[in-house]
Structure 1
Amino acid sequence: MSSTYDKSQSSKSLFTTQNIVLTGITWGVLAFLYFLLFSAKIPGADGTEMRAEWYVLGTNIFEAIAYLWSGILCLRNWRSEQIVSGRNVWLAIGIGMLSYFLGGIVFGYIEIFLQQEPFPSVADVFYVITYLSLGVGMILAVASRRLHLEISQWIIVLAIGALGSTLAWLISNQPQTAIPSQSSWFEIVASVLNWFYVLSDVLLLIFATTLLLAFWGGRVSLSWRMIAAAAFSLYIADIWYKYAENSISNYQSGEILEVFWVWSGVLFGMGAALEYEASLNRSRRERGKKRG
């Protein structure tokens, strides 16, 4: 009986917020070093320079584990009765993280193993679910909190929204590299998805900035700083990929800026862990006041 209790206590001590945050930071640093050290292209059999398949597979693994880990932590918040921002907020974000995990698996399988163009593909179904879920989660978070932003804070939100929109529009409208002719339905789907992702990135950027300012200084402010940083990281990686697809002929995944996708997953997970801890501390304080 005592050994079972000791194992339970040991397992709880391993999953402390401090250990979760340290694990996330370690994973983010390892991912950065992996991208930095091994992203160089090597000459292929036909003389063209390509990245090694094991390297591209490794980037997919880093990304997949980050989003799976994050999704599990978000769903842990959803199951908690004490969570400050609302359980539905974290359910929506958790679904988004797990959908991105599945989308990454499908995307990597098509690109690496089937050697086919992964956009558009079945992976986009999961990516669309991701953006819709994240949008719902952030809207619920905003709705659950009365916004009392000052004029200067609204100016910051509008400025970031304008800059993000301008950059996304410029990149989306730049001249594209020559691509093999595709059927009209293929081009229509690709165009619709492109604009959906651009619009979603900008909206997530605006929501994240608003939440960051709304929660600033509160008991859960640190967790929402992580969420805002995660949204910024997702925006950077998506914008880079859009630029690369339009400007670089036969672009192959694995450029160093794609590490921001890994960081985004890590930061969402860290934000979930920090809110879980803040919510438990708040619950303890409230119980202490009632006893007093």
Structure 2
Amino acid sequence: MRASYNNSYPTKSLFKTRNIVLASIAWGVLALLYFLLFSAKIPGADGTQSRAAWYVIGTNIFEALAYLSAGILCLRNWRSPQIVSDRNVWLAIGIGMLSYFLGGIFFGYTEIVLKEEPIVSLGDVFFVVTYLFLGVGMILAVASRRLNLEKWQWMIVLAIGAFGSALAWLISQQPQGVDKVSLEVPSGVENIALILNTVYIVSDVLLLIIATTLLLAFWGGRASLSWRMIAAAAFSLYIADMWFQYATNWIPNYQSGEILEVFWVMSGVLFGISAALEYDASKVRSRRAGGRKRA
């Protein structure tokens, strides 16, 4: 039995919160360096410039593993009886992370393997599910805490919401005379794409508002660090989505892989870090409570 314990101890030590956080930060730094160093376009045989196929595959791998690990860590919080916060919050966010992972897989498959423009793909179904569950999870997080925000804090929420809405509206407008979608896809698919874009924009703005509220409501204290990470993750998701909206609407023949898309990876990394920090903080609280009971 002693030998069995000694063999399992190193495995358990690998999944300490400190190691998970350091590995997540390292993954985010590697992703940033990857985007910075290899995102340049190379000339092809026909004279056009494009990014290497291996580079696009790498960006999808960085993103997929970030969201997969975040989903697993969130579901670990949901299954843990020690979690102090509402476990349904982590269930919803965990489902959202895994849905985004699957959506990215289908999106990458359409773009890389099928070599088609993923204007509408099966991945969009999972992306919509992601926004739905992320919204539910973050609303539950806000609802579980009494909001005693000052007037100036509510003004910040309203200002960021107004700015985010205006920016999203401006970015979503295609330049006059440019109608790339209607020339490349049937009108039915074009209508679905417009509806999906509207859903994404509205969802991004709502998540931005909720994230700002979370950031202000949970500001201060070690236990609130995980919620600040969730707010930062939502901000990162907003930046990446807004860039993609701008690129697809305003840049002709846009090819994915620009540097700002790294914020998709950062969003998954931050969600994973938040789950790990919440798990660690809940264990510390549980031990303190147990010590008081024994005393």
TM-score past 0.5 threshold: yes
Q: Aligned to 2:147, what secondary structure does the other structure show?
A: coil
Match of 1:238 in 2: 241
Match of 2:134 in 1: 134
Q: Aligned equivalents of 1:3 and 1:198: distance in 2?
A: 56
Match of 1:254 in 2: 257
Q: Aligned to 1:220, what secondary structure does the other structure show?
A: helix
Does 1:286 find its partner at 2:264?
no
Q: Aligned equivalents of 1:159 and 1:237: distance in 2?
A: 20
Quote the offset at 1:8 in angstroms: 2.0
For 1:128, give the aligned amino acid: V
Match of 1:202 in 2: 205
- Please tell me whether the aligned partners of residues 70 and 269 of structure 1 are also in contact (alpha carbons under 8 angstroms): yes
- Residues 54 and 181 of structure 1, relative CA distance in 2, 3 Å threshold: closer
Quote the offset at 1:178 in angstroms: 3.9
Cα deviation digits, residues 158-209 of structure 1 (max 9, x gap) = 1111111111011012416441243221111011100100000011111111
Does 1:265 find its partner at 2:268?
yes
Match of 2:225 in 1: 222
Quote the offset at 1:7 in angstroms: 2.1
Q: Aligned equivalents of 1:54 and 1:88: distance in 2?
A: 39
Q: Aligned equivalents of 1:215 and 1:122: distance in 2?
A: 36
- Please tell me whether the aligned partners of residues 78 and 90 of structure 1 are also in contact (alpha carbons under 8 angstroms): yes
Does 1:146 find its partner at 2:149?
no
Match of 2:31 in 1: 31
Q: Aligned to 1:115, what secondary structure does the other structure show?
A: coil
Pairs within 5 Å for 1:58-137 = 58-137=58-137
Quote the offset at 1:219 in angstroms: 4.4
Match of 1:13 in 2: 13
Give the TM-score of the pair, scaled to structure 2: 0.97
Q: Aligned equivalents of 1:207 and 1:84: distance in 2?
A: 21
Pairs within 5 Å for 1:166-177 = 166-175=166-175, 177=178
For 1:276, give the aligned amino acid: Y
- Please tell me whether the aligned partners of residues 164 and 202 of structure 1 are also in contact (alpha carbons under 8 angstroms): yes
Structure 1 unaligned blocks of 5 or more: none
Quote the offset at 1:84 in angstroms: 2.2
Quote the offset at 1:95 in angstroms: 0.3
For 2:283, give the aligned amino acid: L
Give the TM-score of the pair, scaled to structure 1: 0.97
Cα deviation digits, residues 44-67 of structure 1 (max 9, x gap) = 121110000000000000000000
- After alignment, is 210-219 or 130-139 more displaced? 210-219
Count of aligned positions: 292
For 1:33, give the aligned amino acid: L
Alpha carbon RMSD of aligned pairs, Å?
1.1
Q: Aligned equivalents of 1:182 and 1:105: distance in 2?
A: 22
Structure 2 unaligned blocks of 5 or more: none
Cα deviation digits, residues 232-259 of structure 1 (max 9, x gap) = 0000000000000001111111000000
